[in-house]
Amino acid sequence: MEISTNTISANTTNDTLRRVPELSLNSYIEGSQTDRQKFIDNFFVGLKEYGFIVLKDHPIPDALLNNAYALLEELFSLETQTKLKYALKENGFQRGYTPFGQEHAKDSPVMDLKEFWHVGRDLQEGHRYSSIYPKNVWPSELPEFQSIMTKIYRSLDEAGKVMLEALTYSLDLERGFFTKMMGEGNSILRLLHYPPIPDGVDPRCVRAAPHEDINLITILVAATASGLQLKDRDGKWLPIESDPNSLIVDAGDMLARLTNDVIPSTTHQVVNPNDGTNGHRYSMPYFIHPNPDAMLTCLASCRGAGEKYPPISSQDFLMQRLREIGLLK
């Protein structure tokens, strides 16, 4: 049986759908043609109508994810002065540590209540992107950190390739379209810590103010505490609750530009705890970026009445957005 493609329309939102779709990535990787077609259809519709998908079943071992979260707790328990040794402001904090209160959502007047650590793609010496990608920095205080986070990075990268390949059917693209675009891409693993809300903080501040991600898609390993909410296509906030180690996938600005908003970028936020616990929250989003040479040009299947956005390179778009969120001057 042949796997079919979808007719693309921008106006098929089903107002009766009120729960983020839950899918099995393994059904696409290992399933029958019927299983694969079901995943292809539901993945596209889920991103299009909600912008988020929950993957309950995927090939990344729970033990690896659990080890990574244990290391996150150790990392962010280090003294502030120790963490600041690894803060690289000059490269827009694209690698290493970003201090608490540094980043803000685009157009937000106040900073988010979080700190984080970036892991990027390792390149060989002399690689053509060596002058663009900063080198990773690794905390010497945590000997296992580099090994575990490198495995997480590669595992999420492979999962992302599979998901984007599934999307090519619905967008009438050759199977390798996104694989070429994200090959050697500037993808980032962000290791996030939302500490307890400090006393006296500006009441306008939240853990992550409403925003859209910059990249193609984001793969978020389910966080250690609740708080994530998405704004669905009719403007209502939906809490995202999932089992531990599920993968949560959302559509970013770069995918929205490519698809002419057929798949819009999804607004989401992380709200402050309101249950009296005020505890720590850790999460691990993996932001899938194209390589710097990739052009964000409207796909032929999504042009409709005309292109909404002019073509721009992924690198220029990234730099523009890093300035808008306070990570780059």
98, 129, 125: which is closest to 114 by C-alpha?
Answer: 98
CA 137 – CA 174 distance, rounded (Å):
36
Domain ranges of the chain: 25-324
Which three-class secondary structure state does DSSP give residue 251?
A: strand
Which three-class secondary structure state does DSSP give residue 250?
A: strand
**Superfamily of structural domain 25-324:** B-lactam Antibiotic, Isopenicillin N Synthase; Chain (2.60.120.330)
216, 115, 212: which is closest to 157 by C-alpha?
Answer: 216
227, 253, 280: which is closest to 77 by C-alpha?
Answer: 280
Which three-class secondary structure state does DSSP give residue 87?
A: strand
The alpha carbon torsion through 270, 72, 89, 327 (nearest 10 deg) reads -20
Q: What is the pTM of this model?
A: 0.91
Per-residue pLDDT 10s for the chain (329 aa) are 345 444 343 343 444 346 778 999 999 999 999 999 999 999 999 999 888 899 989 999 999 999 999 999 999 999 999 999 999 877 778 899 999 988 888 888 888 889 999 999 999 989 999 999 999 999 999 999 999 999 999 999 999 999 999 999 999 999 999 999 998 999 999 999 999 888 888 889 989 889 999 999 999 998 788 889 988 777 888 888 788 888 999 999 999 999 999 999 989 999 988 777 788 999 999 999 999 999 999 999 999 989 999 999 999 999 898 888 877 77
Strand order in the sheet with 208-211: 208-211, 268-270, 228-231, 237-239
